[in-house]
Amino acid sequence: MAEETRKRKADHIKICLGQKVQARKATTGFEDIHLIHKALPEINRAKIDLSTTVFGHKFAAPIIVGAMTGGTEEATRINATIAEAVEQLQLGMGVGSQRAAIEDKELAKTFSVARKKAPSAFLVANIGGVQLVNGYGVKEAKKAVEMIDADALAIHLNTLQEAMQPEGQTNFEGVLARIGEVAEALDKPVIVKETGAGIAAEEARKLEAIGVKGIDVSGCGGTSFAAVEHYRGGKEKQVLADTFWDWGIPTAASLIETTQTVKIPIIASGGLRSGTDVAKALTLNSCLASISQPLLENAVISGKETEKTLSRFVEELRNTMFLVGARETKDLVKVPVVITGKTAEWATKRGFKVGNYARRGAL
């Protein structure tokens, strides 16, 4: 089993580097979020403070690298490279699903290298929700956390991917209750994350009620796991995966749905490709932004490239804040925003506000 998981993970890296796996027709909806330029900002760009504290941890900027990999030699190098960069910049990162290493101790170092290279950065452990249905429980969740001395545990939901996989696990009955058991037993915050198809208000409410401490929406518009599986399946699966290539709740819509429904911190991800996207996500009341696939491309080149890309995100965020007159990241929820197009239509039809946001108390 571990071998099969390892092979799948190696396939994912290869495909995400060599093929076009981004959404084709779907977009994140960030193109509908307009920040209003402020010609008289009355702030000094040099004094802008990007730092933020979430889950009791201080980040130099509200940016993390999303869960991607582990389990192979190449994955060790990727995790090490990303970890060094986020340590240097005082950001955070998630490791990929730790299932392979929970089943085969030998593989633990392919994940724990992240803590070795990032002694003080915020690290997120990762297991699959479907694994909780198939026998995993508190013991395995604790193992994942201990393996990388994690600051939080992400439980990922990936129905789209499982439905597309030739070997996919598609029984999710009882998954919410199992997540609740883990959230209650762990002394680290449990974050539930999607993997590119987004989270709706109804699910966010249930997750908050069961004791989950954070939600990473991972919406549609960026990396598509139907696309990834398209390149792994036979002809029949390819057609199926094609149909679902753009499936999911666009990231901006998912942020509106979740931030206006629950009080727990919301992480924005799924197709964030600039610091301006990060600023828009924070304007919609998320507290951290997570980027995955673009950083994978950098991490296989060098640590320098990885740091350069993350620094670009940071500086673009700083510039955007300067242009809208936001001195601190928490000011972003107060800046005027205009929501247009399909995102405004979505929000209105689902009963959400499209105007300005009041800051929630819980962060």
Ligand X SMILES: Cc1cc2nc3c(=O)[nH]c(=O)nc-3n(C[C@H](O)[C@H](O)[C@H](O)COP(=O)(O)O)c2cc1C
Total residue count of the chain as it appears in this document: 363
Nearer to ligand X, 271 or 325 (CB): 271
Q: Following DSSP, what letter does each residue of 149-191 receive, concatenated?
A: T-SEEEEE--HHHHHHSTT-----TTHHHHHHHHHHH-SS-EE
CA distances (Å), 231 to each of 8, 20, 90, 242, 355, in order? 12, 10, 35, 10, 41
* Vertex 227 angle, CA 26 and 285, to 5°: 45
Give the footprint of ligand X on residues 249-268 (CB under 6 A).
none
Shortest approach of ligand X to residue 358 CB, angstroms? 28
Q: Cα separation of 9 and 54, whole Å? A: 30
Give the footprint of ligand X on residues 305-344 (CB under 6 A).
none
Among 6, 8, 12, 318, binds ligand X (CB under 6 A): 12
Shortest approach of ligand X to residue 302 CB, angstroms? 18
Largest CA distance in the chain: 60
Query: Contact letters (x/-) for ligand X, 96-135, by CB under 6 A?
Result: xx----------------------------x---------
Query: Contact letters (x/-) for ligand X, 217-236, by CB under 6 A?
Result: -x---xx-------------
Chain residue whose CB lies nearest ligand X:
222
Buried b (16+ CB within 10 A) or exposed e, 241-254: beebbbbbbbbbbb
Among 6, 115, 156, 213, binds ligand X (CB under 6 A): 156
Shortest approach of ligand X to residue 300 CB, angstroms? 11
Task: Judge whether 272 and 251 are in contact, CB under 8 Å.
Answer: yes
Applying CB under 6 A, the span of 183-191, 290-298, 299-307, 318-326 interacting with ligand X comes to 290-298
> Tokens for 42?
């009355």
Shortest approach of ligand X to residue 203 CB, angstroms? 15
- Determine phi and psi for 214, rounding to 5 degrees: -165, 155
Q: Cα separation of 2 and 5, whole Å? A: 5
Among 33, 35, 54, 68, binds ligand X (CB under 6 A): 68
Is 214 a residue that touches ligand X (CB under 6 A)?
no
Nearer to ligand X, 156 or 318 (CB): 156
Q: Cα separation of 352 and 363, whole Å? A: 21
Footprint on this chain of ligand X (rule: CB under 6 A): 12-13, 16, 66-69, 96-97, 126, 154, 156, 193, 195-196, 218, 222-223, 269-272, 291-293, 296
